[in-house]
Amino acid sequence: MALFTDLEQEEIAKEIASAEQATSGEIRIAIDKHCEGDPYQKATEYFQKLDMDRTALRNGVLIYLAHLDKKFAIIGDAGINRAVPDDFWETTKDAMKAHFIKGDLANGLVEAIKLAGEKLSFYFPHQQGDINELPNDIVYLDNDKN
């Protein structure tokens, strides 16, 4: 059985697109089955591999989930990190975790996208000429949607 239904995947991609309409920032979701060690470190590695550190305003956000190991992280690039309150990423993780505990991974991701999108739109509002610098689809790092 797939990790997300087609409908859930569409909902996640739509939420990213919706959030990005109000900001120059970029949001991506990266899914792994396993994460040996610290999920924040793994997310940092993938942040660079996915070119998230190459956005014009350094305002990319990556939500990383290793679903079988029940580990996750959310990280932002230098621009957004300078702007948001110190506890923002931790409170966003708490909101995600509330859904994850119930087994609702899709809505946990949607909640994180909404929260990140709100902050991005506040600190980095959409401007004329903004382009979508990165794809909105879920990246399956193990090339397997299960």
Domains assigned to the chain: 6-140 (3.10.310.50)
Considering the entire predicted model, what is its pTM?
A: 0.93
- Which residue stretches of the chain are H helix? 6-21, 39-49, 78-83, 88-101, 105-123
pLDDT lower than 50: segments of the chain: none
Name 27's bridge partners: 61
Q: Which of 94, 111, 99, 91 is nearest to 11 (CA)?
A: 111
Q: Which of 105, 34, 108 is nearest to 71 (CA)?
A: 34
Position 88 scores a pLDDT of 92
Position 142 scores a pLDDT of 74
Residue 120 token pair: 């991005």
